[in-house]
Amino acid sequence: MTKVVSFSLFPYPSTFYSEEKFPLIEGGLIFNFLKQEIELFYHLTLPPSPSPSPLVPSPLLPTLSSSFPLRQTDLWKKTCFEFFWKEDSSTHSYFEANFSPSLAWNIFSFQNYRSSNNLSQHLKASVQWGASVHSFTLRSVLYGIKKPILWHATAILEYPKGPLYYSQRLVKESPPDFHLLDHFCP
C-alpha cells in the first residue's frame, strides 16, 4: 500500500527579515507501507536576485548520493531539512529525522516532548542533493519505518548574515517549536 502527500513550508515571521524574500519550499512524501519506507522530497526555489541565498553545506563525498554511514549530530545548527513522525497513538513517543545538503543525516527517538533524544539505531536513511542556478532539491528515503499515524515536515535555513530561519507547514507560535505534536498531521 502506498500513500502520496504534498506540502508547502512557510517561514516564521519572527525569524525572517521582512526586506528579504523567503525561498519557496515545497515537498512531497511517498509512504510505502509494505517496504516500511518513506521517500521525502524537499524542493527549495530561490527568490529573484538581489535576495541572498541560504548557505548550503558542501557534500561530504565526491558523489551526490550517500548511504548509511553519514550519521552526524547537530545538523539543525545549519541548513537542514527535518521530518517528524509518530507511529503509536497510545504513547507520546515520536521520531525526528534530520537531512543536510552535505548528505549527512540522523534519526532520533523521543519518549515524550523534547525528552532526551536517543539515536535510533534500527532506522536508516539515504540522502541525495541536487542544485541548479535558482533551486535545490533534497531527496531522502527512510528505511525501517512502521506505519506513521502523524507526521510533520520542517526546514531550517542558514544565511550569511543573520540568524537561522525556520519554516514549517503550520506557523503557530513564536519562537518556532517543531516538536509540538499539534503541528503533526495524519
**What per-residue confidence (pLDDT) applies to 132?**
83
Q: What sign does the CA torsion over 179, 26, 156, 39 have?
A: positive
* Tens-binned pLDDT, residue by residue, of the chain (186 aa): 889 999 999 888 766 655 457 788 999 999 999 999 999 999 999 887 766 677 776 665 444 454 545 888 999 999 999 999 999 988 899 999 999 988 889 999 999 998 877 888 889 998 988 888 788 999 999 999 988 999 999 999 888 776 788 888 877 666 778 888 888 888
Task: Provide the residue ranges of all domains of the chain, joining segments of one domain with +.
Answer: 2-60+67-183
Let me know: does 30 contact 38? Beta carbons within 8 Å.
yes
**What per-residue confidence (pLDDT) applies to 63?**
46
| pTM recorded for the entire structure | 0.88
Q: CA–CA separation, 29 vs 92, rounded Å?
A: 23
Let me know: does 46 contact 134? Beta carbons within 8 Å.
yes
Let me know: does 145 contact 40? Beta carbons within 8 Å.
no
Burial, 176: exposed, middle or buried (Cβ in 10 Å; 0-12, 13-18, 19+)? Answer: buried
Let me know: does 150 contact 181? Beta carbons within 8 Å.
yes
**What per-residue confidence (pLDDT) applies to 62?**
41
Residues belonging to the chain: 186
Phi/psi at 85 (nearest 5 deg)?
A: -155, 155
Assigned CATH for 2-60+67-183? 2.60.40.1190
**What per-residue confidence (pLDDT) applies to 170?**
77
